[in-house]
Structure 1
Amino acid sequence: MSSSNIRKREPSNAPVEKTAKQQKIEVQRKKHEEKMVEYERIDALYNVKDEEMISALNYTIITEGEGRAVSESDQVRLHHTARTDNSGVLDDQVIKFQVGVGKVHTELQLSTIGMKKHGKRVVAVNSAFTLPQKTIFEIELLAIL
Structure 2
Amino acid sequence: MRQDSRLSRMLHVLIHMGRHDGAMTSDRIASMLDANAVVIRRTMAGLREKGYVHSVKGHGGGWTLARPLCELTLLDIHRAVGEPSIFAVGPAYDMPGCPIEKAVNATLEGVLEDARRLLMERFASVTLADIAGSFPEADKVEEVMDRNG
The answer to whether TM tops 0.5 is no
TM-score, normalised by the number of residues in structure 2: 0.23
The structure whose residues are more often helix, as a share, is: 2
Bigger strand share: 1
TM-score (norm 1): 0.24
